[in-house]
Amino acid sequence: MEEKEKTKEQLIDELMKLHRQITELEKSEIRHQQIEKASTDNEEKYRILVELAADGILIETVEGRILECSTAGAKIYGYAKEEMIGLTIADLVPEEFSKKLPKVITDKETTHGIFVPRISKKKDGTIFPTEIATKIVRIGGKPRLIAYVRDITKPKEAEKKLRKARKIFASLFNSSPIAALYHDEDGRILNINPYFTKTFGYTLKEIRGRNIDEGMIYPENKIDEGERLTKKGLTFKGISEYETIRKKKDGTLIYVVISASPVIIDEKAQGTIALYKDITERKKAEEALRKSQQEFASLFNSSPEALAYLDEKGNIIDINPRFAELFGYNINEVKGRNLDNGMIHPPEKMGEGKWMTEKALKGKFYYETIRKKKDGTLFPVSISVSRVMLDGKLQGVIGMYRDITERKQDEQLHQVLYNISKATNSALSLDQLYPLIHQELGSIIDTTNFYIALVDEKEDKIFFPYNIDHAKPIHLPRTINHNSLVAEVIRTGKSILVNQEMI
């Protein structure tokens, strides 16, 4: 009976042990399942991370045969993922590089996870630049080579373009015929071109790193201006054609035109390129021109002759005071008007005026004619014309008008006297001479009432051998002391100018 009970207890004990074992097994199974699930989850996360990576990821044997490849890695080389499996490193590099590859890759041949430049080959044979980082790790107890690959074709092209742009910039900067200076956002000088040295006397070694606002090229009275311009040059607006004065290394002051533009990188001003154009000679020329213009204006306005300045189309630009006095027009009345519109030309001289303007544009000439004043008075003038040339280009003409009324009258008087003298010394009788004298004098004075008086000093009498007088047809002889105008003139030997009231 006791043995049976022991057996029963043993059975119960064994059942309990078995129950505990089953419980432990169940727990172990749960843990195993958890581990498997965690492993599966990690593998999925790893796969997702690999697929999302921009860099290509390759898992290879240490002999260089590809076991796994990310989508990005396959795309970089131009293969499908399936095509990449089983390829070797030699298939992904140019032939000349494949010959140098080791048969077995050790840790020594890896880049220890650091990206280094490499030349790679696509499926279609295209050679392209890459960066590759390699490292040996153990996977499943076996050494595996993990390679990270980056296609740097675009960065290389961008770098090439950048180098080219920098070379072009350097070439333009250094070959510029205008002084150029490059400073950073704090005003520190980074570079100058050869023409800057030629203009200001400083070499790059002397001023590199110095601040532009130290005053090395600023006169004392321009330091504040310089600092203000430095700040303005960093703005997007920059500086355009600013005229001022700057100082050379030897202290010489020069006139310059400053233009400056900011160097913008990532929408931020990193510095400024400033151009300094030496305009000292231009300023001297402008000053000389200004003085010349003042001298011209002074001579023009003070000339005793009437002057008119016309453009190449004959429009009046200016007149001097003597022109205004002679013709009766002021500058406001004639400025901009065409000289040939008839304001100083009699109607019958309009064609002549246009002809003269055209002739004036071809060169100097002198001409005598008749012109008209503002009030309609006609008078004889001499006209001299000279062209105004600037840098070999016609700017207009200056016409000089001289009133030659008196000269013409004198010439006519001399002609009349010459004709009378010639007739007097000819074989004409007195009866023929007197009418001729009457006719000649009638060309210069009014001889409507005219007589010739002769003096007989012995008889002390005045006779009138020739008389054409509508008011007094007969002039009787009279003594020299007679109370008359003719007797007064004979007695004094002087002419008398009288009007009707005096008579």
pLDDT in tens, 288-306: 888 888 888 888 899 999 9
Instruction: Give me the torsion for CA of 430, 432, 433, 438, rounded to 10°.
Output: 120
Residue pair 257/279 in contact by the 8 Å Cβ criterion = yes
Residue 176 within a domain: yes
pLDDT at position 39, please? 47
Residues 225 and 290 in one domain: no
**163-168: average pLDDT:** 87
Name residues whose C-beta falls within 8 Å of residue 379's C-beta, 6 or more positions apart in sequence.
Answer: 370, 371, 373, 403, 405
Residues 233 and 162 in one domain: yes
Among 32-41, 379-388, 491-500, the least confident range: 32-41
| DSSP codes, 86-154 | T-BGGGGS-HHHHTT--SS--GGGS-TT--EEEEEE-TT--EEEEEEEEEEEEETTEEEEEEEEEE-HH
CATH code of residue 89: 3.30.450.20
Residue 44 within a domain: no
Query: Measured between alpha carbons, how far is residue 343 from residues 319, 332, 334, 353 in Å?
Result: 14, 14, 9, 11
Q: How confident is the model at residue 2 (pLDDT cuts 50, 70, 90)?
A: very low
Query: Measured between alpha carbons, how far is residue 287 from residues 123, 254, 277, 283, 453 in Å?
Result: 74, 14, 18, 6, 70
| DSSP codes, 207-237 | HTTSBGGGSTTS-GGGHHHHHHHHHHHTSSS
Tens of pLDDT, residue by residue over 215-268, are 899 999 999 999 999 999 988 888 999 999 999 999 999 999 999 999 888 888
**446-467: average pLDDT:** 88
Q: What element of type H or E holds 360?
A: helix 350-360
Residue 266 within a domain: yes
Burial class (CB in 10 A: 0-12, 13-18, 19+), 143: middle
Tens of pLDDT, residue by residue over 364-410, are 889 999 999 999 999 999 999 988 887 788 888 999 999 999 998 88
Question: What share of the chain has pLDDT > 90, as a percent?
Answer: 48
Residue 172 within a domain: yes
Query: Measured between alpha carbons, how far is residue 439 from residues 323, 393, 394, 420 in Å?
Result: 37, 55, 51, 10
Which three-class secondary structure state does DSSP give residue 148? strand
Determine the residue type at 129: P
Report how far residue 324's alpha carbon sits from residue 480's, in angstroms, rounded to the nearest whole number.
Answer: 50
Which three-class secondary structure state does DSSP give residue 461? strand
Which among 321, 291, 293 is positioned nearest to 307, based on CA atoms? 321
**104-116: average pLDDT:** 91
Residues 383 and 456 in one domain: no
Residue 428 within a domain: no
Report how far residue 276's alpha carbon sits from residue 486's, in angstroms, rounded to the nearest whole number.
Answer: 88
Phi, psi of 172 (to 5 degrees): -65, -40
Residue 121 within a domain: yes
Residue pair 323/307 in contact by the 8 Å Cβ criterion = yes
Report how far residue 270's alpha carbon sits from residue 259's, in angstroms, rounded to the nearest whole number.
Answer: 17
Residues 166 and 274 in one domain: yes
The residue count of the chain comes to 503
Q: How confident is the model at residue 488 (pLDDT cuts 50, 70, 90)?
A: confident
Residue 416 within a domain: no
Which among 176, 190, 174, 168 is positioned nearest to 272, based on CA atoms? 190
Which of 151, 183, 212 is the last residue before a domain boundary?
A: 151
Report how far residue 367's alpha carbon sits from residue 352's, in angstroms, rounded to the nearest whole number.
Answer: 11
Report how far residue 127's alpha carbon sits from residue 95's, in angstroms, rounded to the nearest whole number.
Answer: 11
pLDDT at position 318, please? 94
For tokens 């070999």, what's the residue?
A: 392
What's the maximum distance between 2 C-alpha atoms anywhere in the chain?
223
Residue pair 488/464 in contact by the 8 Å Cβ criterion = no
Among 26-35, 62-71, 108-117, 442-451, the least confident range: 26-35
**144-148: average pLDDT:** 92
Which among 403, 344, 336 is positioned nearest to 374, based on CA atoms? 344
Residues 273 and 289 in one domain: no
pLDDT at position 219, please? 94
Residue 73 within a domain: yes
Q: What is the mean pLDDT of the chain?
A: 87
Determine the residue type at 149: V
Residues 195 and 128 in one domain: no
Residue 28 pLDDT greater than 90, yes or no = no
β-sheet with 253-265: strand ranges across: 189-192, 179-184, 268-278, 253-265, 239-247
Residues 182 and 145 in one domain: no
Q: What element of type H or E holds 60?
A: strand 56-61
Tens of pLDDT, residue by residue over 303-344, are 999 999 999 888 999 999 999 999 999 999 999 999 888 899
Which of 403, 425, 459 is the last residue before a domain boundary?
A: 403
Residues 190 and 226 in one domain: yes
Which among 313, 329, 336, 335 is positioned nearest to 401, based on CA atoms? 329
Among 32-46, 214-228, 350-364, the least confident range: 32-46
pLDDT at position 265, please? 82
Residue 35 pLDDT greater than 70, yes or no = no
Residues 223 and 291 in one domain: no
Residue 162 pLDDT greater than 50, yes or no = yes
Q: What element of type H or E holds 191?
A: strand 189-192
Report how far residue 172's alpha carbon sits from residue 156's, in angstroms, rounded to the nearest whole number.
Answer: 24
Task: Say if pTM beats, i.e. exceeds, 0.75.
Answer: no
Which of 278, 302, 330 is the last residue before a domain boundary?
A: 278
Which three-class secondary structure state does DSSP give residue 127? strand
- List the structure tokens of 340: 């040939």
Residue-range definition of the domain harbouring residue 172:
158-278
Residues 243 and 325 in one domain: no
Residues 272 and 308 in one domain: no
Residues 170 and 253 in one domain: yes
What's the domain count of the chain? Answer: 4
